[in-house]
Structure 1
Amino acid sequence: MKRKVVLAIVTSFICFVPYAQQLPHYTQYVLNNFILNPAVAGIENYTDVKISHRHQWVGIDGAPVTTYLTIHGPIKKSDYARETATGFRAEGENPRGKAYWQNYEKADPHAGIGLTILNDRTGPLNRFSAYGTYAYHIGISSKTSLSAGISAGIKNTTLNAGKLSFDVPVDPAVAGSGYLNRLTPDMNAGIWLYSADYFAGLSAQNIIPSKIKFSEDTVKLAGGRQIPHMFLTAGYRFFVNDDVSFLPSALIKYVTSTPVSFDVNAKLQYRDFLWVGASMRYKDSWAAMAGLNISNAINIGYSYDITTSQLNTVSRGSHEIVVGFLLGNRFGDWCPRNLW
């Protein structure tokens, strides 16, 4: 009878310490709030597709590498304020200037659906997730809307035991056990309040707490526990002049048993064409960002993070790129109307 080996591995890879890195870090969630909050699904008049790749802490072997695809769009959403692609435009004026927002109206009641596919690799751990999303939007005043959404799916966590190293000799059955997998259900939920001038959102990810234990015929590895993460975000729009908007925002993240962390972001947008920005993650990093709306069908954003933690002596920073596609864009919008 095959002997079973029980091993407790007290490392950040297996026990998920610190908890804050159970979920991937993003810098350009300002370009894709749907990755953090399912209530955003269907907020625009088109199907929004985002593809992103992030390489965190370049120069550190086994540092996190995250790739995702998100798709979301509305179901039977109409726009009360316009019927054509130029319904808000005035000749010679900025299509995203002050006159544009004077015609802003609340969302008509409608649903949104979405899909998220995400892969996050850190050292010997690989986490693959897939979620389906449903959201519903209603107007609560003449210019303010509220939505609620939920995502449900699966998360497959794979441990490459062959990449583990130990300070003491271990049974060869452990080192040679190959890939071990753990499949768990997962759920996210959120609410989103939005208007012409501001937005605010509250969301939770990893709602279903679950223990992570890996096992196969010869080996059992005792792991850690996935715990819920809470995100609170808000932002406001200021006009520097009719061509330039200033868009500050903040994100607060709470995870049980860890200090509250927060980001502060600032973004300058020129018309509906390009934007630049900066971000500060408290006691962790600074980031520079830039983006370009190439047409009414495609946009791109890039960010570079400079690490300020103790990792800055061995890390060459973090790179993140996001490419977006606007499908079924019947009004020809070059940038989102309800997300900034």
Structure 2
Amino acid sequence: MNKLLTISILILGLLPLELSAQQRPQYTQYATNQFLLNPAIAGSQNMDEIKIGGRVQWIGFEDAPQTVFATYHAPFKKMPFQNTMNQRGHHGFGAILIKDITGPISQTSAHLNYAYHHPFTSNLSASVGASLGILQHTIDMDQLSFQNSNDVIIDRILPNRFIPDGSIGIWVYSDKFYFGASITQMISNTTMFLPTGEREVEVFDLEAHYFANIGYKFDIGQENSDWFLVPSVLFKSVRPSSGHVDFNIRAQKADNFWFGGSFRQDDSFSGLVGFSAMQDFAFTYSYDFIISDIGPYSGGSHELTMTFKFKKKQRKVICPDSFWL
């Protein structure tokens, strides 16, 4: 049997996030960019927001995962909060572009997002959201080598495929806490085939990814201090994995400066730091120290995000707080 390079087989079977199962890119800074995981956040603020970021994973490994992303979301048809029985909400829309590359395999995704936000009180709101988009899975055949390039099984590989994709989510938020749940990659489909043995072909199916997270804001320091603490937990699951948990904690001074740490179950410890300039621009950097079996061979993972915000005075959106963004 003519085989692809062993590394190619491993990469396709272990598309990044968790080595055991997950097929979506991994993020350390999701606690400050929840929109990547949950479409219900679109338009939650009284401003337009653009985030541009990138991640380089497992430094020291050839063909290790690399990810770049850009997100945008904003409110529209804004309504001020009304303390009556006819409380009126607002809508949000957004878009997400992601490019994820692991050796000869790449995934490009583009999604449009919609959310509806409803205020229950001046300090409590909830939203539901959905996204639709397309995934492009590609194998760069020029990066692969074969013992016999004339093997007919090579023709069974799908080097390029476009697949529909969708997500849904809910988001409950106040000036003190948030809770969210979402399902991504909902549309089950087959990405590509890969030879695995004599006259055998492996089929890789996309699986739905489930996320649930919760966080709480604690004011710290003296009275009227701008400092607060945000511990949070993220649960994520995808078949056949039984699920993984991330624990996070972040200390922040108003919207000006923040630092914190994270623990990703069976994978890594992470540290992050960020700052904001004039509330219009923010920069966040994080580093992952790998504790899994590949830790001794990896230089860790780096991730950075730049945020641009554009506030428009005529907009009136009830957002009790935005410490999760």
Same fold by TM-score greater than 0.5: yes
Pick aligned residue for 1:324 from 304, 307, 310 = 307
Mapped to 2, the partners of 1:228 and 1:150 lie a distance apart of 14
Mapped to 2, the partners of 1:30 and 1:174 lie a distance apart of 47
Which residue pairs with 2:267 in the alignment? 284
Aligned ranges 1:139-288 → 2 under 5 Å: 139-165=119-145, 169-172=147-150, 180-213=159-192, 222-241=202-221, 242-288=225-271
Q: What is the root-mean-square deviation in Å for CA atoms of aligned residues?
A: 3.0
* Compared CA separation, residues 175 and 60, structure 1 to 2 (3 A): farther
Mean Cα deviation higher: 188-197 or 107-116:
107-116
* Compared CA separation, residues 174 and 116, structure 1 to 2 (3 A): farther
Which residue pairs with 1:13 in the alignment? 11
Q: Secondary structure at the match of 2:72?
A: strand
Task: Give the counterpart letter for 2:168 in structure 1.
Answer: A
User: Does the 8 Å contact 2:193/2:204 carry over to 1?
Assistant: no
What's the TM-score once normalised by structure 2's chain length?
A: 0.85
Task: Give the counterpart letter for 1:182 in structure 2.
Answer: R
Mapped to 1, the partners of 2:158 and 2:211 lie a distance apart of 32
User: Does the 8 Å contact 2:175/2:320 carry over to 1?
Assistant: no
CA positional deviation for 1:295: 1.7
User: Does the 8 Å contact 2:190/2:203 carry over to 1?
Assistant: yes
Q: Secondary structure at the match of 1:321?
A: strand
Mapped to 1, the partners of 2:119 and 2:283 lie a distance apart of 30
Once the two structures are superposed, residues 95-144 of structure 1 have per-residue CA deviations (whole angstroms, 9 ceiling, x without a partner) of xxxxxxxxxxxx95000000001000012110000000010000234521
Mapped to 2, the partners of 1:274 and 1:329 lie a distance apart of 23
User: Does the 8 Å contact 1:213/1:221 carry over to 2?
Assistant: no
Mapped to 2, the partners of 1:228 and 1:298 lie a distance apart of 34
CA positional deviation for 1:329: 4.5
Mapped to 2, the partners of 1:204 and 1:126 lie a distance apart of 22
* Compared CA separation, residues 264 and 283, structure 1 to 2 (3 A): same
Mapped to 1, the partners of 2:63 and 2:133 lie a distance apart of 26
* Compared CA separation, residues 232 and 173, structure 1 to 2 (3 A): same
Mapped to 2, the partners of 1:129 and 1:19 lie a distance apart of 22
User: Does the 8 Å contact 1:263/1:282 carry over to 2?
Assistant: yes
Pick aligned residue for 1:338 from 316, 322, 325 = 322
User: Does the 8 Å contact 2:81/2:119 carry over to 1?
Assistant: no
**Sequence identity percentage:** 35
Which residue pairs with 1:130 in the alignment? 110
Mapped to 1, the partners of 2:152 and 2:184 lie a distance apart of 32
Mapped to 1, the partners of 2:152 and 2:296 lie a distance apart of 33
Mapped to 1, the partners of 2:24 and 2:231 lie a distance apart of 24
What's the TM-score once normalised by structure 1's chain length?
A: 0.81
* Compared CA separation, residues 109 and 175, structure 1 to 2 (3 A): same
Find out whether 1:298 has 2:281 as its counterpart: yes
Q: How many residue pairs align between the two structures?
A: 303
